[in-house]
Amino acid sequence: MTAEVVDVRPAEASDAAKLLTLLMQLAAESNTFTIDDGLGELSEADERSQIEQITRTTTNTIFVAVLGEDLIGVGTVQATDDLIKQQGEVGVAVLKAYWGQGLGTALVEEVIHWAQDFSTLGQLILTVQTRNERATKLYQHLGFKQVTPASYNVVDPTGKKVAAIDMILDV
């Protein structure tokens, strides 16, 4: 029996429908992953257009983890409004069925590689809930440093206030 290999690659316009489905599933099964308001109203054509626009920038990217025909994880960088500092905000999520298999690490490593070699960004930033210890340790292992002196409250997708910290990586 041959084991299937997960491929981590940049998202393509043809991934639009599957990416929308993945994002909705991730939001439904995780209380540490939030999606942009209005994602549910995006059409496949809208998502296809967004992917095409993102791939033409040096400050935004989307990577997907693909198993066979299925998208099972996503890693993104979105430029912040503060372009003076040239920061990109990182987001990473993997379907619960695939947690603990190194996919989060692979996605973050691809994002870092892209930022260092292809982007015009100087820093990657992220916010992580302190209850998400695995993610916090992953980010620290890959070189992210905590920049907030103490945790602060954010609202999770269920409406609950939870402690979070900000982390940064110079690229």
Q: What is the mean pLDDT of residues 70-96?
A: 89
Global pTM value:
0.91
Rounded to the nearest integer, the mean pLDDT of the chain is 91
| C-alpha span between 167 and 131 (Å, rounded) | 15
> Out of 40-54, 61-75, 127-141, which region has the weakest mean confidence (pLDDT)?
40-54
Write the pLDDT tens digit of every residue in 124-171.
999 999 999 999 999 999 999 999 989 999 988 888 999 999 999 999
Domains of the chain: 6-170 (3.40.630.30)
Please say if the pLDDT value at position 1 is more than 90. no
Instruction: Show the CA angle centred on residue 144, arms to residues 66 and 39, nearest 5°.
Output: 45
Please say if the pLDDT value at position 42 is more than 70. yes
pLDDT of residue 151: 93
Look up residue 100 and give its DSSP letter: T
Is 73 in a helix, a strand, or coil?
A: strand
38 — pLDDT class (breaks 50, 70, 90): low
Please say if the pLDDT value at position 2 is more than 60. no
Is 143 in a helix, a strand, or coil?
A: coil
Percentage of the chain modeled with pLDDT above 90 = 78
> Out of 40-44, 70-74, 95-99, which region has the weakest mean confidence (pLDDT)?
40-44
DSSP assignment of 75-99 equals EEEEE-S-TTTTEEEEEEEE-GGGT
30 — pLDDT class (breaks 50, 70, 90): confident
> Out of 38-52, 58-72, 101-115, which region has the weakest mean confidence (pLDDT)?
38-52
What sign does the dihedral 51-52-53-56 (CA atoms) show? Answer: positive
